[in-house]
């Protein structure tokens, strides 16, 4: 391999230190007691992936319950998990693969910092690029939202950072980038889409911006009818997404029965019930109002909540003074819209006055198309009446905010540095000292959080295992048990089959049965024996069709987690009477 290629993979001292520190923290949790280890996996949805990956390795197919194929997952994270379970999950091991998954999650998170640093150096000074990487990697808030739980969000952040890096490399290359550069960019787009399919909005915005950037090149070829050059150009960057993403969608259509993930279809179906479900109320507004509301939603776990929630909290803290000034009370988005517009007008004025510092940095950072794609992405879930939106959906928006913070930091540094230096050069040790100090500060802060949260040798039986053993004690071997939020139970229960009642990781046959009002028929045909439904879900849509056929058996309650659920026997009507079953 040529020397210049080797240099690309050579780590600087700061990169090595960052990766080692991140790896050490995750190794600490990965080698902890079982109780502490399972505390990390606090998101039940993560176990949907683990069960499917285990079943693939065991030769049972791409399925959660063994009753039918599913596509209720994002494919790139599933592919990595299949590798982990092929390596560590042989023989039915349950705990060892989870330790491997945790280490993989930490590696992906550390690599995200590395990519942000290297990409950032194309736009920012070395110090600002380093600050971007350290603040992202060692932020307890970022780790808590997108790393903890080992859902696909850590991988999603890495692929989005990789897409940004590839875009910067493409945009700053020679006037006509090489086919290899175009292909690398196309591969980054494909990986971002495979990490989360809803990245399509950000990816599409970046594609439009890049194609517009090189419009003179392809327009000249188009006029000259240089079809071979145009075809080669299109194949170079569009080939990877079409081959990889198109190949996955084709597989999903042929193997599962459709291209849209079943989980997305279920959550959209929930939106047809109005406000009667425990999953929230869908928007009834026109699409343009829904788009505005989604992007001004101040709740902490919404798209722009990391910025809007503190402002909303600030308003409540100073609400009395606000009202004393004769200003209107804000109770809804309509009342808050004039205030938001006024704030945007003030921000726009300040931005205009300071544009000489931040605009050049923002332009070369290629963040405007990313922002437009994120706005559409945030609005999509509200417009589509998609219920049960989760906080890890918003990686693209959060990462964009961090990148904009880096832009503003660089602009401030460019404005202040000449005044601070006063014509003198900085000492050679100043930058390394700053970088080492920032690493020490960020790493120490996250280390304290880990040590405080995860006691390495904590004894006890975690609720996941306790719950599974309780289900085993109250059901017979071989029983077919339906459960909502069935991830961890499906992973740890022995000798029983768990069916995902909410349908998020089920098959298309169950989805169609729910939507057509034939769920009871479907469950009778597969031989369902029991159902596990919590109080918040029982006798409420979309599960009230099951209520007449459920007889209580036992109640489970875990005082440590303050969580409980009821086990009920499923007693369906005779086959000829099921036509009158209530519709969901």
Give domain status of residue 57, yes or no.
no
Residue 447 belongs to some domain of the structure: no
The closest alpha carbon to 199, from 168, 291, 207, 254, belongs to 207
User: By three-state DSSP, how is residue 526 classified?
Assistant: helix
For residues 190 and 245, the answer to whether their CB atoms sit within 8 Å is: yes
What is the rounded distance in angstroms from the CA atom of residue 434 to the CA atom of residue 14?
11
- 409 and 488 share one domain: no
Query: Do 235 and 305 sit in the same domain of this protein?
Result: no
For residues 85 and 100, give the distance between their C-alpha atoms in angstroms, rounded to a whole number: 9
Is 227 part of any domain? yes
Among the candidates 402, 424, 446, a domain finishes at 424
**Burial class of 495 by CB neighbour count within 10 A (0 to 12, 13 to 18, 19+):** exposed
* Domain extent at residue 477: 463-580
Q: From CA 268, how far away is CA 270, in angstroms rounded?
A: 5
Residue identified by tokens 């929230």 is: 280
DSSP for 376-399, please give it: HHHHHHHHTT--S--GGGGHHHHH
- pLDDT score of 52: 98
**Which structure tokens are listed for 427?**
């000492």
Last residue of some domain: 366, 400, 424? 424
Q: Could you give the number of structural domains in the chain?
A: 3
If residue 288 lies in a helix (H) or strand (E), which one and from where to where?
helix 287-295
Indicate whether 94 and 163 sit together in one domain.
yes
Indicate the pTM of the whole model. 0.94
Rounded average pLDDT per 10-residue block, the chain, 584 residues: 54 96 98 97 97 96 96 97 95 94 98 98 96 98 97 98 97 82 97 98 97 91 92 95 97 95 95 85 88 90 91 86 82 79 88 88 94 97 94 97 96 85 77 95 97 94 96 97 94 97 95 95 97 88 93 94 94 70 40
- Whether residue 272 lies inside any domain: the answer is no
Q: Note whether 224 and 82 are same-domain residues.
A: yes
Same domain, 118 and 231: yes
**CA-CA distance, 463 to 557, in Å (whole number)?**
10
Contact 553, 461 (CB under 8 A): no
Closest CA to 149 of 565, 568, 510, 464: 464
Contact (Cβ atoms closer than 8 angstroms) between residue 479 and residue 496:
yes
Whether 239 and 183 have beta carbons less than 8 Å apart is answered as yes
* pLDDT at residue number 582: 39
Is 203 found in the same domain as 316? no
SS3 185: helix
495 and 419 part of one domain:
no
Could you tell me if 234 and 314 lie in one domain?
Answer: no
Pair 145, 238 in one domain = yes
Burial 209-226 (b: 16+ CB within 10 A, else e): bbeeebeebeeebeeeee
In a domain, 510, yes or no: yes
560 in the same domain as 416: no
CB-based burial label for 167 (10 Å; 0-12, 13-18, 19+):
buried
> Taking CA 438 as the corner, what is the angle to CA 437 and CA 443, rounded to the nearest 5 degrees?
100
Half-sphere exposure of 490 (CA within 13 A, CB side): 31
Does residue 418 sit in the same domain as residue 309? Answer: yes
Residue with tokens 């990595």: 80
In a domain, 261, yes or no: no
Nearest Cα residue to 333 out of 362, 309, 363, 297: 297
CA–CA distances in Å: residue 392 to residues 30, 45, 112: 22, 11, 16
Q: Is residue 501 domain-shared with residue 367, that is, in the same domain?
A: no
Q: What is the side-by-side strand order in the sheet with 550-558? A: 497-500, 480-483, 530-533, 563-570, 550-558
Q: Is residue 445 part of a domain?
A: no
Report the pLDDT value the prediction gives residue 271, as an integer from 0 to 100.
92
pLDDT of residue 423: 65
Choose among 357, 399, 392, 394: nearest CA to 132.
399
pLDDT for position 335:
78
DSSP three-state, residue 201: helix
């Amino acid at each position: 391999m040529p020397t210049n290629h080797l240099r690309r993979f050579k780590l600087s001292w700061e990169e090595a230190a960052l990766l080692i520190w991140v790896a050490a923290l995750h190794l600490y949790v990965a080698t902890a007691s079982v109780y502490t280890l399972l505390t990390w996996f606090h998101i039940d949805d993560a176990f949907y992936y683990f069960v499917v990956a285990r079943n693939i390795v065991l030769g049972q197919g791409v399925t959660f319950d063994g009753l039918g194929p599913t596509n209720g997952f994002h494919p790139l994270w599933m592919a990595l998990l299949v590798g982990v379970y092929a390596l560590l999950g042989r023989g039915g091991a349950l705990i060892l693969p989870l330790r491997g998954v945790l280490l993989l999650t930490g590696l992906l998170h550390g690599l995200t910092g590395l990519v942000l640093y290297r990409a950032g150096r194309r736009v920012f000074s070395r110090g600002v690029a380093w600050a971007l990487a350290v603040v992202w990697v060692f932020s307890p808030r970022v780790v808590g939202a997108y790393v903890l739980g080992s859902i696909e969000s850590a991988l999603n952040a890495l692929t989005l950072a990789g897409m940004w890096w590839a875009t910067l490399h493409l945009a700053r290359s020679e006037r006509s980038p090489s086919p290899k550069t175009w292909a690398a960019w196309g591969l980054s787009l494909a990986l971002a889409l495979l990490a989360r399919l809803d990245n399509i909005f950000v990816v599409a915005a970046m594609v439009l911006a890049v194609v517009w950037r090189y419009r003179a090149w392809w327009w000249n070829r188009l006029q000259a009818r240089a079809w071979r050059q145009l075809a080669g150009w299109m194949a170079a960057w569009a080939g990877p997404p079409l081959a990889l993403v198109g190949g996955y969608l084709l597989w999903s259509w042929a193997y599962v029965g459709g291209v849209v993930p079943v989980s997305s279809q279920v959550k959209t179906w929930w939106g047809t019930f109005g406000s009667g479900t425990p999953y929230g109320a869908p928007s009834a507004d026109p699409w343009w109002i829904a788009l505005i509301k989604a992007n001004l939603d101040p709740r902490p776990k919404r798209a722009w909540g990391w910025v809007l929630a503190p402002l909303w909290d600030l308003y409540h803290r100073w609400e009395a003074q606000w009202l004393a000034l004769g200003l209107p009370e804000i109770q809804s988005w309509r009342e808050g819209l004039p205030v938001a517009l006024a704030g945007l007008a003030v921000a726009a004025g300040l931005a205009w006055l300071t544009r000489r510092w931040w605009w050049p940095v923002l332009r070369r950072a290629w963040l405007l198309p990313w922002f437009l794609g994120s706005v559409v992405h945030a609005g999509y879930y509200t417009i589509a009446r998609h219920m049960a939106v989760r906080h890890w959906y918003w990686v693209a928006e959060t990462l964009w905010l961090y990148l904009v913070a880096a832009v503003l930091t660089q602009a401030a540094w460019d404005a202040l540095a000449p005044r601070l230096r006063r014509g003198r050069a900085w000492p050679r040790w100043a930058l390394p000292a700053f970088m080492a100090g920032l690493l020490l500060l960020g790493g120490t802060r996250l280390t304290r959080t880990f040590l405080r949260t995860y006691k390495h040798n904590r004894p006890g039986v975690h609720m996941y295992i306790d719950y599974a053993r309780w289900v085993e004690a109250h059901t017979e071997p071989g029983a077919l048990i339906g459960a909502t939020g069935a991830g961890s139970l499906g992973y740890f229960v022995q000798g029983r089959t768990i069916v995902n009642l909410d349908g998020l990781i089920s098959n298309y046959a169950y989805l169609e049965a729910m939507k057509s009002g034939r769920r009871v028929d479907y469950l009778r045909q597969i031989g369902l024996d029991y159902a596990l439904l919590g109080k918040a879900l029982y006798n409420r849509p979309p599960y009230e069709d099951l209520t007449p056929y459920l007889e209580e058996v036992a109640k489970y309650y875990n005082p440590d987690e303050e969580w409980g659920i009821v086990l009920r026997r499923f007693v369906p009507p005779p086959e000829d009477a099921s036509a009158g079953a209530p519709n969901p």
